[in-house]
Amino acid sequence: MRVITKLAALVLTLLAAGLAEGDSPLSGVAAATSRIGYGVNDGEGRLDLITGMGFNWIKLTAPWKQYEPARGAYDWRDLDGRVDRARAKGLKVMIRVDDTPDWASSKPGFFNAPPANDGDLANFMGTLAARYKGKVGGYEIWNEPNLDYEWGLINPDPVRFGEMLKALYPRVKLADPAAVVITGGLSTAGDGTSGPYLGDLYYLSKLVDPNQDRDPSDGYAAYFDAIGSHPYGGPYAADTPPSVARNDIGTYFRRAEEQHALVLAEARVDKPVWATEFGWFLDPAVLGQGCDFGSHFNRLKVSADFQAAQLVNSYQYAAANWPWMGPMFLFNLDMSLDSWRAACEQVRYFAILRGDGSPLPAYTALAAMPKLGVRLPNQPLAVGPADGAVLPNLSPTLNWETPAGAAQVHLQVIPANNDGPGLNLIIAAAQSFGIPAPPDWFGMLPGMGYTWRVRTTTSSAFAPESDPSWGPWSERIVFRTPSPSSSIVALVSPADGATTTNVTPSLRWSSASAQLFYWEVQISRDPAFETNPAKAIASVYQNLVHGGLTTPANSYAVPSSAPLESRAVYYWRVRPRVQGDGTPVVWTPARMFKTP
């Protein structure tokens, strides 16, 4: 039977002050770059060389066994110094956590085996995040967990890894809501679906949709904020299309976009990607070494000029094309200087310094590369919510640092895909703005990504948006509102099994949260509400309702222009409306009523 889906939507004002539907103030390359960060793996002994390149992130490793050698016995002295030294140079810090202590390991004596009890890892992560709240921007959980030698020589298991994330994520967020939890960067290990090496795309797919049924509700996407990726470039230029490289050696920079696309399709949520390792493999012959690495690594060798050009190309390509890409940590700065490493150890030849500490062409090229996100003198600094933060409520306070001499502030908050109400205000100079809780005039939607930015002018007279006196925008910051739940919704009337007085009844429900105001309502003679034309037995009427504008609140009246059938049995249900890039919410249990 043909299914009719009827949309009766109340139109919301897209923006409080004048952005037309479909407009985006964030179009163009500048809009696609604000998440980009310029990071380096290691290099702790040469922090001045990192900042000398204009880079602003560093990746530190924090072996769990070193900082909690016995349960509950923490020793942070070493890590305190490492974090403080990096921050003193103006660097943002990401920490990779792995290396399970034997007392907590499911396989003592084996590197990176999963813990026997995920609660032990959760306790460690909660304590770690609390100690470094405001000092560490993100935590990468494990390293390449799709490889057995990074998983205690156990066959990799994405569901087991997901359970680890599920245990630790709430502890990290409780301790530091702004901290970004990142999945362990995945190795581009081909397409394997079993055994010691799982393909990165298969691993991600099983992580976000374990049953492979296109229903992410049983997956683990809710327990990480960003996808960790290791998009090494192989022998290819950074912009080489995946279709060219995929069926050859299988290592290529744009693998990251395939990982992002998979999670977007299967988990139906737009997660940022953090490239926690990437690079190009310098031919040792450039440095006077004759090394045979076997057929695979020998294929990866590139010249010094190619390495330099593609590292620059990678940052520029990501900035121009990947608005979802976060900090990118090149691997590596200076492992070529480690005297204890064998002359032909591969990691030496991903470095951008020679063995004597002098710069390779890659270092020089990266230092000269223009970098986005460098704050100009008249540019505000967006402070909070931080990029990638998940908010505890729908009424955040936005904070920024205003340049000297500012007289007016232009503030914008843009919903994902421009889908829903946002904010576009010009106000007197200030350094914060509190967004009223719904259903007030802005009405942020739950479970959704928002982007915010701010700019200023020194003009004391009102300056319209097009006025040339406006300075540059702050960096674009993306945050998410908390996800709603149908468990706080109660259907009020008609009562279950009741007979309505007419064929245009008013349906009413209540909510334990005053901040939920936008709803989906379904009515059908089919208790399963089946919308597949091949299976449907009745029409499904679906309606979008702004509960703050209806009378009474949180209600839907069947219109007289489309009455229900007489002497019929109907079912109805409600759920909070999620828009943009939000994940759909489970419906309330359905109620039945009869028409006269």
Assigned token pair, 333: 């700065």
| Rounded Cα distance, 321 and 218, in Å | 31
**Share of residues in the chain with pLDDT > 90 (%):** 52
CATH assignment of 485-594, given 2.60.40.10, 2.40.50.140, 3.90.1150.10, 3.20.20.70?
2.60.40.10
pLDDT at 442: 54
Give the lowest-confidence range in 185-189, 197-201, 372-376: 372-376
Least confident of 21-25, 171-175, 308-312, 475-479: 21-25
pLDDT at 238: 97
354 vs 468, which has greater pLDDT? 354
Q: pLDDT tens across 432-443, in order? A: 888 877 655 556
Instruction: Express each pLDDT in 62-105 by its tens digit.
Output: 999 999 999 999 999 999 999 999 998 888 999 999 999 999 99
Query: Could you tell me the CA-to-CA distances from 540 to 484, 504, 520, 533, 557 in Å, in that order?
Result: 23, 16, 12, 11, 16
For residue 22, pLDDT beyond 50: no
Which tokens sit at 84?
Answer: 């403080």
Average the pLDDT over 139-161 and give the result. Answer: 96
pLDDT in tens, 525-582: 889 888 888 887 788 887 777 656 667 778 888 988 889 999 999 998 988 776 555 5
What lies within 8 Å, CB to CB, of 216 at 6+ separation is: 208, 209, 266, 267, 268, 269, 583
Strands in 273-278's sheet, in edge-to-edge order, are: 180-185, 138-143, 92-98, 57-63, 37-41, 325-330, 273-278, 227-229
Candidate from 208-212, 222-226, 399-403 with smallest mean pLDDT:
399-403
Chain segment 279-290, per-residue pLDDT in tens: 999 999 999 999
DSSP for 321-353, written as a single string:
H-TTEEEEEES-SSGGG-TTS-TT-GGGGG-SB
Mean pLDDT, the chain, whole residue set: 85
Q: State mean pLDDT over 484-498.
A: 81
Q: Do domains 35-368 and 382-480 have the same CATH topology?
A: no
3-state secondary structure of 62: strand
Lowest mean pLDDT among 346-355, 410-419, 447-456: 410-419
- Comparing C-alpha atoms, which of 539, 534, 388 is closest to residue 475? 388
pLDDT higher at 445 or 177: 177
Domain boundaries, the chain: 35-368, 382-480, 485-594
pLDDT at 479: 86
Q: Tens digit of pLDDT for each residue in 267-309?
A: 988 999 999 999 999 999 999 999 999 988 899 999 999 999 9
User: Residue range 341-366: average pLDDT?
Assistant: 95
pLDDT of residue 19: 28
Could you tell me which residues are beta bridge partners of residue 555?
508
The pLDDT of residue 13 is 22
| 382 vs 523: which has the higher pLDDT | 523
Q: Are 410 and 454 in contact (CB under 8 A)?
A: yes
Task: Considering only residues 278 and 466, tell me which one the structure prediction assigns the higher pLDDT.
Answer: 278
Give the CATH number of domain 382-480: 2.60.40.10
- Note the pLDDT of residue 535: 81
Q: What architecture is domain 35-368? A: Alpha-Beta Barrel (3.20)
| C-alpha 553, offset from chain centre | 34
Amino acid identity of 128? Answer: L
DSSP 8-state assignment for residue 183:
E
